[in-house]
Amino acid sequence: MQITSAGEGSVVLSVTGEIDLSTADELQNALDAALAAKDTTEVVVDLSEVGFLDSAGLRVLVSGQRTAEERALGFRVTGAQPRVRKVIAITGLTATLGLDVG
């Protein structure tokens, strides 16, 4: 898994690869850093290059969403592929994660 961060204010974290029990911590660290940066108003997690996401990754995304909410920052997930979208839907998190429709 690789993560690149782009932008200030609206920070886009683009993730490539598989998010699972062994890589979720890395995503957590990147999210924490993005949410803590002083100019951040919104964090967008782009999953368009993620082929696999399990509950370990979902827990990190949900915790990121909660932290953003506590700090009155925007948070959303974009670009989820159909398989990733399916797992998010099973857990009832589609709206919570601000997943874009379509």
Partner 1 sequence: MTDAEPVRLVEVVVDAVADQVALLRSVAADVAIRGDFDLDAIEDLRMAVDEAAALLVGCAAPGARLHCELRPERQQVRVRLVVDAKPDAQVEHSSMGWQILTALATEANAEAAEGRITITLARARSEKITA
Interface residues with partner 1 (CB under 8 A) are: 18, 20-22, 52, 54-56, 58-59, 83, 85-87, 89-91
Give CA–CA dist 34/14, Å, rounded.
12
> Closest distance between partner 1 and the C-beta of residue 96, in Å?
12
Give the nearer residue to partner 1 in terms of CB position, either 62 or 73.
62
Question: What is the Rg, in whole angstroms, of the alpha carbon atoms belonging to the chain?
Answer: 12
Q: Which is nearer to partner 1, 36 or 89 (CB)?
A: 89
- Give the nearer residue to partner 1 in terms of CB position, either 9 or 92: 92
Packing angle, helices 55-70 and 82-90, rounded to 10? 70
Tell me whether residue 22 or residue 48 sits nearer to partner 1 (CB atom): 22
CB of 16 to partner 1, least distance (A): 15
Closest CB 56 distance from partner 1, rounded Å: 6
| Nearest distance, CB of residue 20 and partner 1, angstroms | 6
